[in-house]
Amino acid sequence: MFLFSSSLQLKTTPFISNTASMHFSSLFVAAAAFVTALAAPAAEPVTGNGMSSLVERSTPAGTGTNNGYYYSFWLAQGGNVNYNNKGAGEYSVSWQNCNNFVAGKGWATGSARNINFKGSYSPQGNSYLSVYGWSTNPLVEYYILESYGTYNPGSGLTHMGTVTTDGSVYDIYKGVRTQQPSIQGTATFNQYWSIRKNKRSSGTVTTANHFNAWAKLGMKLGQHNYQIVATEGYQSSGSADITVS
């Protein structure tokens, strides 16, 4: 369990450090496997026997619009995951012994917007709370990771540098996924990550500071696809109630 600050973080001028290095260790293969599993995109909805009765009583897996916000709920088979859209930008999700899921609310088209989020996040095991999105041309999956459970995905990625913004240093990482599911079907694509050192479940994310820092490190986004504040779980349990604006 971690304690989080509920105060909003003010926009700050980012400080970028270009300290590219590659992490290798005896745990690299295992860490990379965790990253691959955790990074499954919100692509195709699960139907039929793949969903438990608990999931069928909640918001069905898929994408859509709810109270003016885009939502995405992707679910791999196994375990119990209960996702619910609530008023405005709020959603809740609870999971028990899940396989893998990604769920959240945001916008059908991403941009370099300031994103406010607040709420509770209580993972037990491997989980992420992040600004999560995709771009095309080039195809990129990205995370601005605000908090996580027991596993830090940076251990299996290439460290590119840092950016200081919104009250914390973020480590910047890059990874490659080869022939994996994406918003364009099975493909090979890059992953971009900013991982916050001071975990939190409420605040403001100045996405422009991350996008600009990535670009200066040669990590360029293309045309924005969807962009959400996502809760993700992999072979874990937990709960979250998040409001996005």
Beta carbons of 161 and 213 less than 8 angstroms apart: yes
Catalytic residue, from 56, 90, 146, 232: name it: 232
Any residues with CB less than 8 A from the CB of 203 and at least 6 apart, and which? Answer: 5, 7, 8, 9, 116, 117, 118, 146, 166, 167
CA geometry: angle 89, 93, 99, nearest 5 deg: 135
Radius of gyration for the alpha carbons in the chain, expressed in angstroms and rounded: 17
Using CA atoms of 32, 81, 110, 222 in order, give the dihedral in degrees to the nearest 10. 30
Burial environment of residue 48 by CB neighbours within 10 A (0 to 12, 13 to 18, 19 or more): exposed
The catalytic position among 56, 90, 141, 146 is 141
Contact 75, 58 (CB under 8 A): no
Q: Is 232 one of the catalytic residues?
A: yes
Q: Which residues are designated catalytic? A: 141, 232
